[in-house]
C-alpha cells in the first residue's frame, strides 16, 4: 500500500465517521403538535390564568375581611401583579400563535406554543405562592418553643441517655449529593 492510497483511505474513513456522528443529531425531532391542539392549549392557558386571577382576588378579599397581616396582603398583591403581567403576555402570545398558524408559519407557531407552556407553569407557580401567603397553609414568621421534661421522655418510653460513646455522636452523615 502506497502512502497516497493510505492517506486516501484515512480521509475516507474519517469522512464516514464524521457522517455517522452527525446522523443521530439530524434524526432527533421535536414532537409535532397539531394546529388545533395548539389553539386549544392557548385557550386553556387563558382560561387557567383567568381562574388564577379570580382565585387571588378572592384571597385578597378574604385576607382583608379576616384582618390578615400586612405582609400577607402585600404578598398577595405582588402575586396578583405578577399574574396580571402574565395575562398581557399570554394574550399577546395567543394572538401571535393564531397569526402564525393563519400564515402557515409553523416554526413561529411552535415558539409561541412553547412560550404558552412556560407561562402556564408560571401561572401555577404564582397561584401556589399566593395561597401560601395567607393562613397557616404556608410559611409564617415566628418562633416555636418546645419544652421537654424528663417525665415526658419517660412517658414516651425514651429513658436512655445519649452519651459520647454512642456511634452517632461526632460522625458526619454521608454527602447527599455528588456536588458537596
Whether 161 is in a domain gets the answer no
Whether 2 is in a domain gets the answer no
- Domain hosting 74: range is 35-135
Whether 19 is in a domain gets the answer no
Provide the 10 A C-beta neighbour count for residue 47.
10
Whether 104 is in a domain gets the answer yes
Whether 24 is in a domain gets the answer no
Q: CB-side exposure of 58: number of CA atoms within 13 Å? A: 8
Total tally of structural domains belonging to the chain:
1
Q: Model confidence at 140, in pLDDT bands (50, 70, 90)?
A: very low
For the entire predicted model, the pTM comes to: 0.58
Whether 149 is in a domain gets the answer no
pLDDT digits (tens, 9 = 90+) for 36-48: 999 999 999 999 9
Whether 71 is in a domain gets the answer yes
pLDDT digits (tens, 9 = 90+) for 101-121: 999 998 999 999 999 999 999
Whether 28 is in a domain gets the answer no
Amino acid at each position: 500500500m502506497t502512502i497516497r492510497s493510505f492517506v486516501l483511505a484515512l480521509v475516507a474513513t474519517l469522512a464516514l465517521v464524521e457522517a455517522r456522528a452527525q446522523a443521530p443529531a439530524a434524526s432527533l425531532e421535536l414532537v409535532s403538535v397539531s394546529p388545533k391542539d395548539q389553539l386549544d392549549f392557548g385557550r386553556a392557558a387563558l382560561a387557567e390564568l383567568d381562574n388564577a386571577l379570580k382565585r387571588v382576588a378572592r384571597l385578597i378579599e378574604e385576607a382583608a375581611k379576616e384582618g390578615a397581616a400586612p405582609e400577607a396582603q402585600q404578598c398577595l398583591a405582588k402575586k396578583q401583579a405578577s399574574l396580571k403581567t402574565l395575562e398581557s403576555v399570554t394574550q399577546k402570545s395567543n394572538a401571535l400563535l393564531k397569526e402564525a398558524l393563519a400564515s402557515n408559519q409553523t416554526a413561529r407557531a411552535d415558539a409561541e406554543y412553547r412560550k404558552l407552556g412556560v407561562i402556564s407553569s408560571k401561572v401555577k407557580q404564582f397561584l401556589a405562592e399566593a395561597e401560601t401567603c395567607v393562613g397557616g397553609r404556608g410559611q409564617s414568621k415566628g418562633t416555636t418553643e418546645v419544652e421537654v421534661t424528663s417525665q415526658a421522655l419517660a412517658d414516651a418510653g425514651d429513658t436512655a441517655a445519649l452519651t459520647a460513646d454512642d456511634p452517632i455522636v461526632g460522625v458526619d452523615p454521608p454527602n447527599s449529593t455528588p456536588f458537596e
